[in-house]
Chains A and B, each alone.
Chain A
Amino acid sequence: MNRKNFFEFLRLEICSAKKYYIIFFLILTSFFSITMSMFSSAVVVPAQYKANLREAFPKGTSLLSMGSPEKTVGMQEAGVDYISFMYNGITHNASLKNGSSILDNLLGEAQLFKNVFNKTSYMSRLDGLCVSGRMWSEDDNGVKNQIWLSKPAAAALQASVGHEVELTGRAADVRLAVIGIYEENAEEDNTPAFVISYGTAYAILDGVGEGTFFLEIYDVTRIARVVNELDKRGIDWFDMSGTVDNVNAIASSETLFWVLTVILLIIGAFAAANVLAMLVKVREKTYGLYKMLGAETNYIMNLAFSALSFLLTFSAVFGIFFSVLINGYFDGIALDLFNADFKIGLVWYAPVAVIAINSLFLLLRYFRTKRRLDKISPLIVLTEET
């Protein structure tokens, strides 16, 4: 069969069946525009809510919780950036010795901080949050069996860098190498203090009891995930910033948007795929006539498929146009009703995803429709007067 007249035949086919193509065009354009709008909303609306929340909490947020440090193991995977564990009085009987010099009971008000990340430099932590405590320790991070001394502590012990001091704890005595001497913040009480590693603290204190946690989350939108993890672990928590409900509401709306998007995507893709089958069904007699006049199944199938591809392309273009209008309309409504400065627009990958999924479904349908077309006998023309 000669294919050089294919496009002329295609034009004839589309012109003659235009009423069906117009109906299919309207159906597909509706699906495309609604799906693309919903897809964009699913991406943009929750993202805008999250951005607003981040703007309101630029330094993140905190949760307060109770328990032992073991309970927080792995919380960083749930989105926690920093955990402070506070337990007063855990080191009552700790004392530092260097030869005959002893610093006793200097840690009655000690706080134990645990940074869940090891990325921050040692000194920046020293200059930042951690100097506020009498005793500060962290994950081992290569400083186990080492100690930093505050200037008053070093003076009292007559110790300098390179010396070794002995720390007597409730459970064990350890010998620690002095690796640095620091000055206390001027605003702080200038009593002798020191810095040891978290692991060292554990060793001398025989573990720690129940205390208070501050879980710091730099990205406020992660709070829901953290709370969920705390609930799973059976740890009570208190939302100090009151953002959990907001974040949960955003997550729910995001889920709803995506569920609707996926439903629309699937329905739309099925519709597009079935348009091909419907086209063959409604044009059954004409295609039978084409067969009687010498057209092969492949020829007719390619005719229907090409016609539908054109239709899908036009529907997609109009769908993009209408979805921009729809989302622009909702921007206006949001502005009027909630004074919310929304800019949903159309995310570029919404049309790409919608068209890709529709094309995939259409291709899958191609072979099934071809089998159906194969079964159309030229004799179907004779079943009724045309």
Chain B
Amino acid sequence: MVEIRNLSKKYGDFFALNDISMTVEQGDYTAVMGRSGSGKSTLLHIIGGLDKATVGQILFEGEDIAAFSEKRAARYRNQKIGFVFQAFHLEPSYSVYKNMEIPLLIAGTEKEERRERIKKYADKLGISEKLNSVSRTLSGGEKQRAAIARALITEPKLILADEPCGNLDSVNAGTIMDIFDMLNSEGKTILLVTHQEGDAKRARKRIVLHDGAVMNE
């Protein structure tokens, strides 16, 4: 599904990523580990089309995402990728419903279908009761479940999760990791960036980054 070939990312003289090659297959659950500054988030951003590599190729279903136009890259982010971040990145003034609706509005989904999908994923993530709540009023666990629901709403092929439990207590973290397990069991491909050994153990495959290079696979 994703094939990374000799990928490097340089900021000035500093290599955030140095000649990385790896593959993520359909249905994989891969954990990317490493210390802070090891380049794992940068790798995730580049795969998600949020950032550009300095050299190398990232093939998503055979297409090089570095060669995408702005329009194509936007569609790629909207249709193929679901992002989940440590800090949730919900629009604080919007309700959960509106937050989940944004990717569908951008995609041009019909109103009825939008309503159905929002209901479906809110039920799945256990936030149906919070749909009309403004997102800044939610607890951390609820925010992350809303963020995951938003990531799933366009039914993307790949979920990119960057330290999704970093801001959560152990109970909520466990719930969120259970959700990822469930999603993977349903066939979703997940790339999880974490520095928590326990979280990484849930993944089927682990990659350790050190100073921008793959140390262990």
Contacts and interface: CB of A to CB of B under 8 A. Distances in A.
Interface string A288-309: 0111111111010000000000
A363 to B, nearest CB: 23
A233 interface: no
Contacts of A12: 94, 98, 101-102, 105
Interface stretch (B73-81, B124-132, B203-211): B73-81
A22 to B, nearest CB: 14
B121 interface: no
Contact of A294 (B101, B107, B111): B107
A16 interface: yes
Q: How large is the interface on B (under 10, 10 to 19, 20 to 34, 35 or more residues)?
A: 20 to 34
Interface string B116-144: 00000000000000000000000000000
A9 interface: yes
A373 to B, nearest CB: 12
A16 B101 CA distance: 13
Given A12-B105, A290-B106, A1 B89 contact: no
Nearest to B79: A294
A8 B51 CA distance: 29
A292 B107 contact: no
B108 interface: yes
A297 B85 CA distance: 23
A386 B106 contact: no
Contacts, number: 88
A385 B50 contact: no
Contacts of A290: 102, 106
A379 B51 contact: yes
Contact of B75 (A1, A292, A379, A386): A1
B106 A299 contact: yes
Interface residues of A, number: 28
A294 B78 contact: yes
A379 B45 contact: yes
Contacts of A294: 74-79, 103, 106-107, 154
Nearest to B78: A294
Contacts of B94: 12, 16
Residue with the greatest number of chain A CB neighbours at <10 A, chosen from B50, B83, B90 = B50
A378 B77 contact: yes
B91 A8 contact: no
A246 B101 CA distance: 68
A3 interface: yes
Nearest to B108: A2
B78 A293 contact: yes
A296 B73 CA distance: 9
A8 B154 CA distance: 18
Nearest to A291: B74
B50 A9 contact: no
Nearest to B98: A12
A240 interface: no
B185 interface: no
B154 to A, nearest CB: 8
A296 B76 CA distance: 11
Contact of A378 (B50, B79, B91): B50
Nearest to A384: B87
B131 to A, nearest CB: 15
Closest 4 CB pairs of A and B: A2-B108, A294-B78, A385-B87, A5-B105
Given A286-B91, A294-B75, 14 more contacts: A1-B107, A2-B108, A4-B108, A5-B108, A8-B111, A12-B105, A291-B74, A293-B103, A294-B77, A377-B51, A379-B50, A381-B85, A381-B89, A385-B89
Interface of A: 1-5, 8-9, 12, 16-17, 286, 289-297, 299, 377-379, 381-382, 385-386
25 contacts: A1-B106, A1-B108, A5-B105, A5-B108, A8-B105, A9-B106, A12-B98, A12-B101, A17-B93, A289-B91, A293-B77, A294-B74, A294-B76, A294-B103, A294-B107, A296-B71, A296-B74, A377-B50, A377-B51, A378-B50, A379-B45, A379-B51, A381-B85, A382-B85, A382-B89
